[in-house]
Chain A
Amino acid sequence: MWTIGFLIFLSIILGIGAWLFFIWSVKSGQYDDVEGPKHRMLDDDDEK
């Protein structure tokens, strides 16, 4: 019983963490340009 309770608690904490991460990603504009990243990853940025 105690293990189930702990696991439920853990899953909810992890879930909330993922949810907050999602909210942050929307707010910081990660979804504004969904076309770009696939091209950008091909850039050679040696100098940076």
Chain B
Amino acid sequence: MLRCDHCLLEFPDREAVNDTIDGHEKVFCCIGCSGIYHLIHQEGLEAFYKKRKWNESGISSSLFQREPDIKPFAEHVTESGNNREIDLYIEGIRCASCIWLNEKILLKSEGVEYARLNYATHRAKIRWDPNRTRLEKILKRILSIGYIPKPFSESAQFRIQESERKDLLVRLGTAGFLSSQLMIYSIALYAGYFQGIDPGTKRILELIAMLLTIPVFFYSGMPFIRNTLHGFRHLRFTMDSLIIIGAGSAFIYSVCEISAGGEVYFDTSAMIITLILLGRYIEAAAKGKASETVKRLLELSPRTAVKFVRNQETGVDERETVLLTSLAKGDLVEVKPGEKIPLDGKVISGKSESNESLLTGESRPVRKIPGDEVIGGSMNLYGTLAIEVTRTGKDTVVSGIIKAVEDAQAHKPKIQALADRVVGIFVPAILIIALVTVVSYLARGSSLHHSLMTGVSVLVIACPCSLGLATPLAVLIFTTMASSRGILIRNSEVVEKGARLGHIIFDKTGTITKGRPLLKEVIIADQSLARDHLLSVAASVEYMSEHSIGHAICAAAVPSFPVTGFKTLPGKGVKGYVQGRRILIGNRVLMQEEGINMTPLGRLDESARYFEGQGDTVIFVGWDGEVRALLVISDIIRDEVPETMDSINAMKCTVAIVSGDTDITTRSIASQVGIKETLSGISPVGKRAYIAGIQKQKQRAMMVGDGINDAPAITEASVGVGMGRGTEIAIESADAVLIRNDLCLIPYFVGLSRSTYTVLKQNIFWAFFYNIAAIPVAAAGVLHPIIAAGAMAASSLFVVTNSLRIRKQKGKGIIACGP
């Protein structure tokens, strides 16, 4: 086996592509890698090969070689006849070709009978013959092509949602089919009204129309009927009661009129139910789509940890992957760099730093040495740690925060949608109008039958069937537009809440800032030095460092000098020899101890103290007895923030920052982006209380955050926004998620919900308008099915075209940002 010089993948010798570049023999796995190597070489970017910090291929080879751990899968296997079946979630799927590849590879494997992946959910259903293959082999096969199979268990909630959606689809399909059949007979009846029709034929057509309406009303409309009866018991009038009053009165009226020889309204009755069902289905489908994507953002697999288990025979500790839930107090677990610390615990061995910003808001990585406490959910940065678990289950820090989230959820007031509020007034009003009509007809001496029928005809015309479409259509276009920009809408209520926002509150670390230390400023003391040269020297020395500051410097420059005698001085800095010079990088203490003269610094020292006053870390670089430069390292603000703040200010929203970090850091960040209100050193529960305080004054607040510590506040806020690359808990408690962490989507989101809300109000107005205009016609006793059908068509058409206008409003008052 050879190793490709570009991509580092191993490949068989016979496939080698040999090449000579500047007299060096190089070997590549394919023409593509060789081409890229040439290109990089020509552009003088060879530092890439030195700079890259891996010595294995980009795709971790451990993924290929790793033996699949079959234990978590075993319980999901089901029997199907002589075969076995399993549902998997396959991680790493990006496009249609991935699906194609997985399906083909699996189907060509010995013993696999059936393999099919769902494009939307990335779930695979695999059926195999246990006599010819084993689950382990199948999993290995998937791993071998670079995808990671994970056990998938549908949550109960998901299964309910799915079966509800299916049920709705069947009801809608049935109603749609019957209504279209019904229209054939209704048109014949309309024609008969104008041209004259034989009464016998008319009756037959009417009877057929009735037969077609019965299933629409009693089967497709059953959920509405049930809700209406339930609502009436509490004297509550919802959208469902309006539908049933409208469709029901149309049905009853028509049944009575068949024998009397009058006009029938079966088409109105069926159409109302069909259109409302369509609206509900649109709503359910949009909701399902968003929750699918959110689920993909969250980790789907049961979380695992690597536990040390003592082998009884050999007495040696062996590593074993176990489920997080099976860990107990006192267990020893191993956490590699870049992994999450599974539970609260104490470091037993190893040295590292952990990023706790998601839990505490503290922007600087925290040093961890044996004896230190670590918090579950924080990120282990640079070294492998062995940790003794000290707290599990409900006692952990994260569980405490989750409890606060649940508490906020339970107390979150559900706002009534605008359409429901209108309906709540409208239903009693039309009931009264209908009653007045009946009474006045009776008073004028009409027959009881005639008076009642006129009253019912008022109810028939009053029900606007496009009302059911008014909100879902606007919301559907809103969610589609938002998701095309990278905002996932999890809760459609945000349209109405987002339109009337008064406050926007941001978390600091990870939301306003990038959430990790980066090189912010370089101040050169020795003017003869070039900035790039100095940084390159510093980066070369820091290249070996396992400290976050070293990583920040290396991220900003290319290390291009060989270093000898590298040494880390804990709590002070690093030193190493470059071209025979002893280079020192570290804080004041290190400089003084190593005999660097700090006195002639003067003005430089002033600026160092200025930055330190802002909460930044200042690092000195020195050699030959003098300070050569200052490096300012800090958690820097996201590039798009100033622009975002400008457009938020133009929208007349109050902005504030709440953070768990220190006051100095928070204030300095806030003043840099022009935010006046700050609250620092605050606990997760404190953040929630702050939001609750604003909302008590009848103001609507939006909370934008990424950390576990923001989750209670995100839940509490009218509109909670989570950062897509943030923690699962933040995403799960949010109403909307910014998939790409792009803050300039916030003003876009607010602008879009404002224009959507305007369209929504117009929709509701016009949905009612035509029907209300026709009420006097009905009260006068001259209503005809064609008028009812006309009102229905006109208002539906208006609602659909008006909703489409939302798409054209995207430019208004919204800054251009991103593609």
Footprint of B on A, CB under 8 Å?
A: 1, 4, 8, 11-12, 15, 18-19, 22-23, 26, 31-36, 39, 43
Contact = CB atoms under 8 A, between A and B. Distances in A.
20 contacts: A8-B208, A11-B184, A12-B208, A19-B173, A19-B174, A19-B177, A22-B174, A23-B173, A23-B174, A26-B166, A31-B169, A32-B118, A33-B118, A33-B119, A33-B120, A35-B120, A39-B99, A39-B100, A39-B119, A43-B100
A22 B177 contact: yes
Contacts of B169: 26, 31
A22 B100 CA distance: 28
A18 B177 contact: yes
Contacts of A15: 177, 181
A31 to B, nearest CB: 6
Contacts of A18: 177
B156 interface: no
Nearest to A45: B104
Contacts of A1: 201
B96 interface: yes
Interface of B: 96, 99-100, 117-121, 166, 169-170, 173-174, 177, 181, 184, 201, 208
Contacts of B118: 32-33, 36
Nearest to A19: B177
Contact of A11 (B119, B166, B181): B181
A43 B177 CA distance: 33
A1 to B, nearest CB: 8
A29 B96 CA distance: 20
Q: Chain B binding site: helix, strand, loop or mixed by DSSP? A: helix
A17 to B, nearest CB: 11
B278 to A, nearest CB: 15
Contacts of B173: 19, 22-23, 26
A13 B500 CA distance: 53
Given A22-B174, A26-B173, 6 more contacts: A11-B181, A11-B184, A15-B181, A22-B177, A35-B120, A39-B99
Nearest to A32: B118
A32 B116 CA distance: 12
Contacts of A43: 100
Contacts of A12: 181, 208
Contacts of B96: 39
Nearest to B97: A39
Nearest to B205: A8
Contacts of A36: 99, 117-120
Nearest to A42: B96
A33 B117 CA distance: 9
A26 B201 CA distance: 37
Nearest to B123: A33
A39 B173 CA distance: 25
Nearest to A16: B177
A35 B93 CA distance: 15
Given A39-B96, A39-B119, A26 B174 contact: no
Contacts of B177: 15, 18-19, 22
Contacts of A4: 201
A12 to B, nearest CB: 7
A5 to B, nearest CB: 8
Nearest to B162: A32
Contacts of A23: 170, 173-174
A-B pairs with the 5 shortest C-beta distances? A35-B119, A39-B96, A36-B119, A33-B118, A35-B120
A8 B121 CA distance: 44
Nearest to B180: A15
Contacts of B184: 11
A38 to B, nearest CB: 9
B274 to A, nearest CB: 14
A13 to B, nearest CB: 11
Nearest to B166: A26
Given A11-B181, A15-B177, A26 B170 contact: yes
A39 to B, nearest CB: 4
A22 B174 CA distance: 9
A9 B144 CA distance: 60
Nearest to B188: A4
Nearest to A22: B173
Nearest to B184: A11
Contacts of A26: 166, 169-170, 173
A22 B576 CA distance: 75
A41 B118 CA distance: 14
A18 B177 CA distance: 9
A36 B170 CA distance: 21
